[in-house]
Amino acid sequence: MSFQSPWLLLGLLAIPLLVGFYITSQRRRRAYAVRFTNLALLNQVMGKGPGFRRHLPAILFVAGVAGLLFSMARPQASIRVPKGQTSVMLAVDVSGSMAASDVQPTRIEAAIAAGRTLIDKLPSNAQVGLIIFNSQAEVVSPLTTDKGAVKDALGTLRPGGGTAIGSAIQVAVAQLASIADPNGPKSQNYAMVILLTDGTSNTGIDAATAAGEAAKTKIPVQTVGIGQRNQTTMVQGRVVDGVDEQTLQQISTATGGRYYYAADEAQLSKIYSDLGSKIGWVTTKLDLTVPLLAFGTIILVAGGLFSLRWFRLLP
């Protein structure tokens, strides 16, 4: 919570003074009552005391004053709301090297778990789709608001084949082209590709060419590299290259996205969680002045009514 006029919160210093004044007055009242030496007769005259009711109007009065003082400082709350129609295509590398276990339990299993984490973080009205790529790219799940179906589809992924990064970008952009409006306001339709790979593009169309096509449609491609950095890895007795970070950085830069690197499952999960928390959301300020003003007024009125009803006087 933030305040547009925070200096007015200094008025809250009056609350302890009010409480102290009330406690002092109650002690004086008790001291005066004790002067009546015949306590048995005092009990007969006074009857059963009001108990907690005696203090309730004063408590409500103090709470109401506090609410009014807070409202004078014009409080604001930061809330996240969906910023229009968001569409995300997940492009996941399922080449043979994704079976490597340097990322526990395996690279492909870590990618599946991270993808599900991202889906859970997206706004409820967001659309999400899934593309897999090895020697070629394939649409496993078209854009849909049924996030459970996409999460189930992620669980069917099995590694095998080459790495066609360019083809994956091309297919993903084709899926989003009808959604994204390069000339329209970004707040209305927001499309994005999140591409994860652990290797070097070795088949399909050129990755730079595909990135150029994505840039023309103003669809950002967030690239994520996973696995060993600057070294080869043995997978099922076969040597595979490490992640081509230079190419992934070029793709993200050309399309207005960003490149991320994950060396283990925890890093990958955090990357996808952060992306999911940002994509499709906008933070806005909610003015709480009127609600707090209404709260303070209602509490003050309630305290006054209770006091008039029980004691025939205002607190």
182 and 260 share a domain?
Answer: yes
Task: Note the pLDDT of residue 183.
Answer: 56
Same domain membership, residue 120 and residue 263? yes
Q: Does 164 lie in the same domain as 121?
A: yes
Q: What's the rounded Cα separation, in Å, for the pair 262 and 227?
A: 7
pLDDT given for residue 161 in this prediction = 87
Indicate whether 13 and 92 sit together in one domain: no
Instruction: Note the pLDDT tens digit of each residue in 26-42.
Output: 777 666 655 555 555 55
Predicted local distance difference test score (pLDDT) of residue 144 = 94
The SS3 assignment for 74 reads coil
189 shares its domain with 258: yes
Contact 225, 197 (CB under 8 A): yes
Same domain, 57 and 91: no
One-letter amino acid identity for 314? L
90-100 pLDDT per residue, tens? 999 999 889 98
Residue 128: pLDDT band (50, 70, 90) is very high
Residue 62: which domain range? 2-77+286-311
End-to-end CA distance of the chain: 31
CB 214 within 8 A of CB 221: yes
Q: Which two tokens stand for residue 187?
A: 């707040």
Judgement on whether residues 48 and 101 belong to the same structural domain of the protein: no
Q: Do 222 and 295 share a domain, yes or no?
A: no
Verify that 138 and 202 share a domain, yes or no.
yes
Tell me what percent of the chain is helix, strand and coil, each rounded to the nearest 5.
50, 20, 30
pLDDT at 43: 54
Is the distance from CB of 135 to CB of 164 less than 8 angstroms? yes
In the chain, the largest separation of any two C-alpha atoms, in whole Å, equals: 104
Distance from C-alpha of 285 to C-alpha of 308, rounded to nearest angstrom:
40
66 lies in the same domain as 134: no
Alpha-carbon gap, residue 152 to 157, rounded angstroms: 10
Contact partners, residue 275, CB within 8 Å, separation at least 6: 118, 121, 194, 222
Domain CATH for 89? 3.40.50.410
Provide the pLDDT for residue 30: 65
Band the pLDDT of 184: cuts 50, 70, 90: low
| Domains contained in the chain, number | 2
pLDDT of 238 over the 80 cut: no
In this structure, are 72 and 30 located in the same domain?
Answer: yes
DSSP structure class, residue 198: S
User: Higher pLDDT residue, 136 or 181?
Assistant: 136
Query: Do 89 and 59 have their domain in common?
Result: no
